[in-house]
Amino acid sequence: MNYLSAENISRNIGERWIFKSLFFGLQKGEKVALIGKNGTGKTTLMETLMGMQTPDDGKISIRKGIRVGYLPQNPIFSEKEEVLNYLFSDDLPSAVAIKSYEKAMLSGDPKELEDSFALMELHNAWDYEARAKQIITRLGIPDGDQKVSTLSGGQKKRLSLAKLLIESPDIMILDEPTNHLDIETIEWLEGILSGPNVTVLVVSHDRYFLDKICNKMFELALGALYTYEGNYAYFLEKKAEREASEASSISKAKNLYRKELEWMRKQPRARGTKAQYRIDAFTEIDEMAHKKLDDSKLELNIQMSRLGNKIIEINGLKKAWGDKKIINEFTYTFKKKDRIGIVGKNGAGKTTFLQLLTGLEKPDAGTIDPGETLVIGYYTQIPFDFKPEQRVIDTITEIAEVIPYGKNESLSPSQFLSKFLFPTAQQYTPVEKLSGGEKKRLQLMRVLVQNPNFLILDEPTNDLDLDTLQLLEDFLSEFQGCLLLVSHDRYFMDNLVDQLILVEGEGEVKFFNGNYTDYRISLE
């Protein structure tokens, strides 16, 4: 029996159907990936299942007693809320007891400690607390009395995930849960979600994560939902078969449509029963012949500025924040076609290292000497700061009016945007109207339009759809410049880098020859 059922649900915005006449269900223990291009309506579908948006048609049924929890892509919090109050909901007696106990521990008042200890005993909350403490520690949640408004975007995402895991609902609906997690924490999360009684609907760009967790795929494309029983690798195979079959059927229908249209025009108005059957069939042929195929493809063919012999020379680099050492005595000379990944726990200093290379931070000691021909393209985790009402096309024209493209081609900003799947109508809409993934794609464009020869990418896969991710991977595989990459996406790292910089904390920075899987094997 389904925990959750969607029956004939539809949602439209203006004249556009986001999805139409969807039927599906979630059963106990199922782990389902929701896959689709940026802007196809994945978040809208999730919010509709949660009751945050109302379907225009159909209904959603949740089995009595089943609790559903939601991790949004960008959680929103009350400005005044404290971490502890957010984590432990007043709906659960065990959570109330833990909240009281944690506050007493912070205050140190003997009477408060005695009363809170008794409350913990009354509700048998010690096991609940031990599990909550493990989750809080693993996800690096800050002190309980800290205001949520002071946290970074990544900390807020981890805080929202911690609350969901502590409450352990029957169904978890997760929008990009691996964003802002280091690789070790992702592997820990995989262990939790793989439990036989855990039911999951998840949007994720992390292909290893999807292969490890999910046993079913929902693909949202052009308002329809396609179901595949199997993991992500199986989905890719069957999707290709489905698209080839659809293209063949549409091609045949178009040929038949032309023939039948000619017959329709020649027939007199009064027709017999036999002719009526042919007319009815023509309606179906017409529908199939004009069915849309989701064949839009992002194109990446960016020119690279010439790269000289000298790239970047680093000597004796040191950096600390107060007493915390980030980098201690790091020396390296970058070479042409270097493909290096950076690995380390959250907070170890990976982003600080990138900011030192790009000049956004100054070292405490040592030198960073760039070559004369060096053009760095730096993609940051922080979204670019667009102006209110700034249009999509304005974000490119403010950088360049003419963009070199391919071998001997130049594009206007509008043509360049079209290559990145921003149609003309969307180019003149405000950036704030874009989905999270579309904003990330636009941010990537702003980096590539500068024709860099040294790409420094800090978590570039966050919020990108899987199709865009595959094209980015293909582009980077052929990129002739230097690549320095921070990513929690193990599949992405394995395919693109052949050596690692290990940021181990306390200033320790080491090199490893090989990709991420090679490194994990070396630790066993």
For the chain, the helix, strand and coil percentages under 3-state DSSP, each to the nearest 5: 40, 25, 35
In a domain, 402, yes or no: no
Give the pair of three-digit tokens for residue 343. Answer: 């690995």
In a domain, 419, yes or no: no
- The DSSP-derived string for 128-143 is HHHHHHHHHHHTT---
Print the domain residue range for 316: 312-389+429-523
Question: Does residue 113 sit in the same domain as residue 222?
Answer: yes
At residue 24, the 3 state secondary structure works out as strand
How many domains does the chain divide into?
2
Question: Does residue 27 sit in the same domain as residue 167?
Answer: yes
In a domain, 395, yes or no: no
Question: Does residue 218 sit in the same domain as residue 336?
Answer: no
Would you say the C-alpha torsion 235, 495, 308, 361 has a positive or negative sign? positive
At residue 9, the 3 state secondary structure works out as strand
In a domain, 328, yes or no: yes
Domain end (from 234, 259, 289) = 234
Question: Does residue 322 sit in the same domain as residue 227?
Answer: no
> pLDDT by residue for the chain (524 residues), tens digit each?
799 999 999 999 877 889 999 999 999 999 999 999 888 899 999 999 999 999 999 999 999 999 999 999 888 888 788 888 888 776 777 888 888 888 888 888 888 888 888 888 887 788 878 888 889 889 988 777 788 888 888 888 999 999 999 888 999 999 999 998 989 899 999 999 999 899 999 999 999 999 999 999 999 988 899 999 998 888 888 888 877 766 666 666 666 666 666 666 656 554 555 556 556 566 666 665 556 655 555 566 677 778 888 899 999 999 998 888 999 999 999 998 999 999 998 888 899 999 999 999 999 999 999 999 999 999 998 877 888 789 999 999 998 888 887 777 888 989 888 888 888 889 999 998 888 888 888 999 899 888 899 999 999 988 888 888 888 888 888 888 999 999 999 999 999 999 999 998 888 999 999 999 999 999 87
Question: Does residue 41 sit in the same domain as residue 175?
Answer: yes
Give ∠ CA 469-472-475 in degrees, rounded to 5: 155
Q: What CATH number does residue 367 fall under?
A: 3.40.50.300
C-alpha dist (Å) from residue 162 to 169, 284, 475 = 12, 51, 35
**Residues in the chain, how many?**
524
C-alpha dist (Å) from residue 167 to 61, 78, 309 = 21, 19, 56
Question: Does residue 121 sit in the same domain as residue 19?
Answer: yes
In a domain, 68, yes or no: yes
Q: Which residues contact 209 (CB under 8 A, 6 or more apart)?
A: 178, 186, 190
In a domain, 413, yes or no: no
Q: Tell the residue number behind the tokens 């490890």, with chain if given.
A: 212
Domain end (from 199, 234, 269) = 234
- Alpha carbon dihedral 491, 493, 494, 499, in 10-degree steps, equals -170
Please name which of 179, 145, 164 lies closest in space to residue 74, comparing C-alpha atoms.
179
Residue 149 per-residue DSSP state = G
Question: Does residue 214 sit in the same domain as residue 355?
Answer: no
Question: Does residue 316 sit in the same domain as residue 230?
Answer: no
In a domain, 276, yes or no: no
User: Could you tell me if 178 and 209 are in contact, meaning their C-beta atoms sit under 8 angstroms apart?
Assistant: yes
In angstroms, the CA 490 to CA 89 distance is: 34
Give the pair of three-digit tokens for residue 522. Answer: 């070396």
In a domain, 518, yes or no: yes
Question: Does residue 108 sit in the same domain as residue 6?
Answer: yes
Question: Does residue 214 sit in the same domain as residue 78?
Answer: yes
At residue 329, the 3 state secondary structure works out as strand
Amino acid at 35: I
Domain end (from 234, 263, 291) = 234
Please name which of 206, 150, 142, 219 lies closest in space to residue 177, comparing C-alpha atoms.
206
Please name which of 168, 163, 174, 169 lies closest in space to residue 68, comparing C-alpha atoms.
169
- Listed in order, strand segments (DSSP E) in 258-364 are 312-321, 324-333, 339-343
A 10 A CB-CB count for 42 gives: 24
Question: Does residue 218 sit in the same domain as residue 332?
Answer: no
User: Could you tell me if 419 and 299 are in contact, meaning their C-beta atoms sit under 8 angstroms apart?
Assistant: yes
Question: Does residue 50 sit in the same domain as residue 170?
Answer: yes
